[in-house]
Chains A and B, each alone.
Chain A
Amino acid sequence: DGGITQSPKYLFRKEGQNVTLSCEQNLNHDAMYWYRQDPGQGLRLIYYSQIVNDFQKGDIAEGYSVSREKKESFPLTVTSAQKNPTAFYLCASSDSGGLSYEQYFGPGTRLTVT
């Protein structure tokens, strides 16, 4: 059963703690993406990776970090430097480096930081 999995679905953390969100895909896609979704602001790109061991900053990378050590995995760490981390986080993947191929999205992780 192919797809993208994100875990956990809900995550709660105290302010000042780093937290890592998991994203795994078994679609054999080259490219992976992390987005943040806030009400009324659509999706904003945090980081993206077109190939293993390489990734680029998106529009709102400050306070976040990623790694791409394996093709199927693209974990996102929300650091204590992120000033407003409470949000819905979506991971996606696409074939062919994302140039003309649609993205497949995971179910999302809702992070709440208090």
Chain B
Amino acid sequence: GAVVSQHPSWVICKSGTSVKIECRSLDFQATTMFWYRQFPKQSLMLMATSNEGSKATYEQGVEKDKFLINHASLTLSTLTVTSAHPEDSSFYICSAGRGTQHFGDGTRLSIL
């Protein structure tokens, strides 16, 4: 069964809305989780590393004020896309694990 749960799986909302995506580790405690973005027919691009109890570290070119990450517990990390615009539409995926990373099923975000 799944070891990483991601919710929601699909979001459609108006431009300017903020959207929160949750990522939970089900069978283990995760001090670190990762957030990826994937465009159609492209591979996963790491956006940020979520660290429990401390600030997330963002990859170059990723706006930290746009993509807010909170890792408040050892089993939950959230990604909030603030004031989303159509160009933020994408497939967002989280992962967690020790060594081998296990991935959530992704969130399809569509901004109208």
| Pairing of A with B | no
